[in-house]
């Protein structure tokens, strides 16, 4: 099996995504970065053919922020399910939040994340 994390062919794309975070991604990153929750997260982290919005290697936890386009057509939903299934096959848990949740209730989003952190041995 080839390299799973941060494949070299995705490097430029991951870098571009890190520099072009959406407003909800920026808002959450300001609260996740530098170990503020007591655990390290990475942004725009490559896992297999996919790039996760945020990833914590220690917890094997992906956090995805979904914009409105994720709910408009079936293709986006199928792609999200494919991503989630791939992550689950690697024993990586996935938390999904909407843009609106992050922008309107960042404390609630952080509470859910913290509950997953505390539930992990």
Query: What's the domain count of the chain?
Result: 1
Q: What is the pLDDT of residues 50-98, one digit of tens each?
A: 999 999 999 999 999 998 665 557 788 888 999 999 999 999 999 999 9
Is there a domain that residue 99 lies in? yes
- The whole domain housing 40 covers 8-119
What is the share, in percent, of the chain residues with pLDDT greater than 90? Answer: 69
The confidence score (pLDDT) of residue 8 equals 87
Domain holding 30: CATH number? 3.40.960.10
Count Cβ atoms within 10 A of the Cβ of residue 75 and give its class: 0-12 exposed, 13-18 middle, 19 or more buried: exposed
For residue 67, give Cα distances in angstroms to 1, 20, 91.
32, 14, 25
Is there a domain that residue 3 lies in? no
Sorting pLDDT into bands at 50, 70 and 90, what band is 121?
A: low
Q: What is the pTM of this model?
A: 0.91
Rounded to a whole number, what is the distance in angstroms from the first to the last CA of the chain? 28
Closest to 92 in 3D by CA, of 4, 1, 3: 4
């Amino acid at each position: 099996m080839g390299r799973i994390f941060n494949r070299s062919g995705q490097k430029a794309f991951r870098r571009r995504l890190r520099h072009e975070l959406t407003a909800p991604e920026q808002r959450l990153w300001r609260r996740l970065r530098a170990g503020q929750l007591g655990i390290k997260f990475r942004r725009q982290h490559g896992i297999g053919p996919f790039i996760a919005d945020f990833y914590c290697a220690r917890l094997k936890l992906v956090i995805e922020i979904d914009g409105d386009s994720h709910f408009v057509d079936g293709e986006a939903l199928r792609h999200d399910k494919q991503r989630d299934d791939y992550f689950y096959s690697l024993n990586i848990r996935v938390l999904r939040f909407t843009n609106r949740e992050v922008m309107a209730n960042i404390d609630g989003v952080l509470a859910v994340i913290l509950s997953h952190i505390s539930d992990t041995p």
